[in-house]
Amino acid sequence: MMAWFFILISMFIALILKLFFNSLTETRKTSQNFPPGPYPLPIVGNLFLFRKSFNDLHHILQSLHAKLGPIITLHFGSRPAIFIANCFLSHQALVQNGAIFANRPPPLDGREQVVITTAVYGPTWRVLGRNLTAEMLHSSRVKSYSYARKVALERLLKILKDQSDSADRWVEVTDQFRNSMFSLLTFMCFGKELEGQKIKEIAEVERDMMRTFGEVSMV
């Protein structure tokens, strides 16, 4: 009985090692097709570089660009990500050769992506792009929001003036600028002016989402 147990355990360990080395070989072959970067481990990629959270990304990129050059590759799990720290090279990739580099990897969950920032380059993405440039960013549509921009600006100036009159030394403007931008964006999204409390709730949800993303544990 014990002999069969050890045989099964040995077979299981051999299978795990085979899968590991196959994954290691596949990772090595895949990484050779990308710009230089730290060697990715199977399954986790380069996630081991993030000791605490994704907030380390900026410092990691600075260090890697200084060592490896303006174009580097990081693997987030099985997904490679290429980072360019040169304006000329970025323009070549995103503008001059935009159609070549416009595609995106399919979603891991297999669901169809219908958002312009995640949709695979194709008919859906092109329709979303046309809607964005012809509707939201069109000069006539931008002019139609002039009233909302005027109201947001006047409200911002009034708040800053009131705070400066009552403050002893300095005025905190970051929150006021952020609230004014959210006020304008909510008007553009919903077509009407929302109450201040509603705008604060939307801003808080967005802030919590970004905070949660930044605090993802790498342990």
Question: Residue 42, exposed/middle/buried by CB under 10 A (0-12, 13-18, 19+)?
Answer: middle
Distance CA 119, CA 199 (A): 28
CA–chain centroid gap for 73, Å, is 16
For the entire predicted model, the pTM comes to 0.53
Question: What amino acid is encoded at 92 in this protein?
Answer: Q
- Per residue of the chain (219 residues), give pLDDT as tens: 566 655 666 666 766 665 555 555 555 555 567 889 888 877 777 888 887 666 778 888 999 999 999 999 998 877 888 899 999 999 998 889 887 887 777 766 666 677 777 778 888 888 888 888 887 778 888 888 888 888 888 888 888 888 887 766 677 788 888 888 888 888 887 877 888 788 888 888 877 776 665 444 433
Whether 151 and 184 have beta carbons less than 8 Å apart is answered as: no
